[in-house]
Amino acid sequence: VIEKSAQASGAAMAILDRALADQEWLSGVNFGVADVPMGVYAHTYFTLDMARPDLPHLRAWYDRLRAKPAYAELVMIPLS
């Protein structure tokens, strides 16, 4: 069940990876409202110990999010 869920998560995140192939942020050129809720999901996705496909655009976007102090403080909290 866990493996099936990890694969489904990877497939969903691949959609974001494709969207980020042509733009820095989900909202376009600038960070915006679309980046906020997906950033929460991205934190969970990259924090959980599971196999993930290589999604370079998603990873670069996540790294840009992590550089934002408010994201680091309010979203990057330990998962229980």
Provide the token pair at 59: 């990873």
Does the residue 80 lie in any domain? no
Does the residue 43 lie in any domain? yes
How far, CA to CA in Å, does 51 sit from each of 7, 47, 73, 74, 77?
8, 11, 26, 25, 21
Give 20's contacts (C-beta < 8 A, 6+ positions apart): 26, 57, 58, 60, 61
pLDDT digits (tens, 9 = 90+) for 4-63: 888 999 999 999 999 999 999 998 999 999 999 999 999 999 998 888 999 999 999 999
CB 52, CB 16: distance < 8 Å: no
1 against 53, higher pLDDT: 53
CATH number of the domain within which 36 lies: 1.20.1050.10
Identify the domain containing residue 40 by its residue range.
2-74
Domain count, the chain: 1
The pTM of the full predicted model, rounded to 2 decimals, is: 0.88
Confidence of residue 78 (pLDDT cuts 50, 70, 90): confident
The confidence score (pLDDT) of residue 2 equals: 80
What is the Cα Rg of the chain in Å?
Answer: 12
